[in-house]
Copies of this chain bind each other. A is one copy, B any other.
Amino acid sequence: MPSAIRNILFIMFDQLRWDYLGCAGHPYLKTPNLDKLASKGLRFTNAYVQSPICGSSRMSFYTGRYVHSHGAQRNNFPLKVGELTLGDHLRDAGMDAFLIGKTHMEADAQGLARLGIAPDSVIGARVAECGFDVVVRDDGLWTEGPDGAYDTRTSPYNEYLAAKGYGGANGWSDHANAVELEDGEVTSGWFMKYIDRPANVAEEDSETPWLTSRAIDFLSEAGREDRPWLCHLSYIKPHWPYVVPAPYNSMFGPEHVVPAVRAEAEKQDPHPVYQAYMQTLVARSFSRQEVREKAIPSYMALIKQADDQMGRLFEYLEQAGRMDDTMIVVTSDHGDYLGDHWLGEKNFFHDCSVKVPLIIYDPRPEADATRGQTCDKLVEAIDLTATFIEAAGRKVPDHIVEGRSLCDLLHGQQPEAWREAVISEMDYSTTPMAESLGMAHRDARLFMVFDGRWKLVHAEGGLPPLLFDLQSDPQELDDLGRDTAFAVERERMYGHLHAWTRRLSQRIAISDDELDAMKGKYARRGILLGLYDGSEVPPENLSAVPLRPKEELGVS
């Protein structure tokens, strides 16, 4: 049994594609700092998120449970009170859980009120913040429109910019996510036409360095070594708006934009939900080469900046001695289509959207067996919660946490009976796509199941499925979902899906061990069901019942 990990640094980027890293083979984007971490850790090449949208994906990362289990189906759907988080589990193991950055958590205000839990109590704040103790909560979208702000909290980033002397009420909008034009005027970073221009902010004050500094400050605090911690350092970028400060804005150009993975055939008789997504504004924008040539260099530059900040952070950890006792995880909540498959954003199930980078550095000697290697096992985002619990020295409560610990894989062990398929889900109920398809809320749902070769997407609401064969069609250009030649494969994949939908996911209030302790108990607590004359059970089981006439009953 390996010793427990002392600390965990759980780094998440937002909307970082699995293949936009040097170590993942990107031809133009070099990420030496992340690559170095990968060389010291294990890189998972088949890591899938439980939903290709921020909020739902994160709720699965933070609970270790599928979306179908925790119910936070989409961004800004509250995580219901009663769901346990990695913070709950780790505190049971004596480890604190801190947040620096984004969670996309929406508190279940009705549930808190119903149960009389004050949101400003310690427990209430943790429930409201998805189990974390908040150092900085910043979801990174301090945007506003005619109906007000998207995020109505106080923005710590805007407070930081104001303290640094940036003018205006909303520095995020006016500086960090605005771009300087040639004449010194600025315009919004939402306009992709201009995002090859530098952000209207000093590089050190842009969001990624700002959060890195917050993390270093926090980890440097006096007394931080007294208790084990998990720190969830959760970056906002390279999520849109794709705005990056100088000098990064000029590092990449159209010549570094890899061709879009797409085919005209995808537009011929597409699946109705896929078709509806192809008609969104962001999809139409990213289908234009001029947009890709502006956005993708910026996206790459945001990743380059992130990698540089990783170098800064890892150097701090090295100097502080934390590389010896701290597990470091780097991943993302989902990818970004960037025009592949005629789509922008995420929200669908091609690998560029639903597969994520995952690097785990485990300082323990047992992990020496896998340093610098890759692992192609089918891994899910929910596995991290299980990994952290086991790394913290506790048995994974598998009546609650649906993921599986990766510790065995990190230590070069082959776990028994690994999963045969991964699951991801999408709820598009609040989108215009649901309206255009005439879908009721509960019908506007998709389930993906992928077994390493075949990827089936089931659509509720009476729609057909999609099916891709990633062996013969690794780019996922040929939807076989309605091809009669593939009925057997579809049926097999539906078998995986339905074994999963039947799973036991809500018996979270009692563990298997507690059930074992319950077995056979009742007969010795007076439940004497089925007796005719008492001779059927040991006499001591009858010790508390009226027994006369003893001779007739034949018991003592």
Contact = CB atoms under 8 A, between A and B. Distances in A.
A63 to B, nearest CB: 11
Nearest to A501: B501
A213 interface: no
Contacts of A509: 71-72, 77-81, 108, 110-111
13 contacts: A72-B507, A77-B507, A81-B115, A144-B526, A146-B541, A146-B543, A148-B525, A173-B545, A178-B546, A190-B531, A280-B530, A432-B519, A460-B502
Interface of A: 68-73, 76-84, 88, 108, 110-111, 114-117, 121, 123, 127, 141, 143-150, 170, 173-174, 178, 181, 183, 185-188, 190-193, 200, 240, 280-286, 288, 290-291, 344-345, 427, 429-432, 435, 441-442, 445, 447, 458, 460, 494, 497-498, 501-510, 512, 515, 518-534, 536-537, 540-549, 552-553
Contacts of A523: 145
A147 B525 contact: yes
Contacts of A553: 187, 191
Copies in the complex: 2
A68 B69 CA distance: 10
Most buried by B among A497, A510, A521: A510
Most buried by B among A427, A430, A435, A458: A430
A430 B546 contact: no
Classify the secondary structure of A's interface with B. loop
B121 A116 contact: yes
Nearest to A83: B82
Contacts of A520: 432
Contact of A173 (B83, B191, B283, B546): B546
A282 B76 contact: no
B532 A288 contact: yes
Nearest to A84: B114
A408 to B, nearest CB: 19
B81 A502 contact: no
Contacts of A173: 526, 544-546
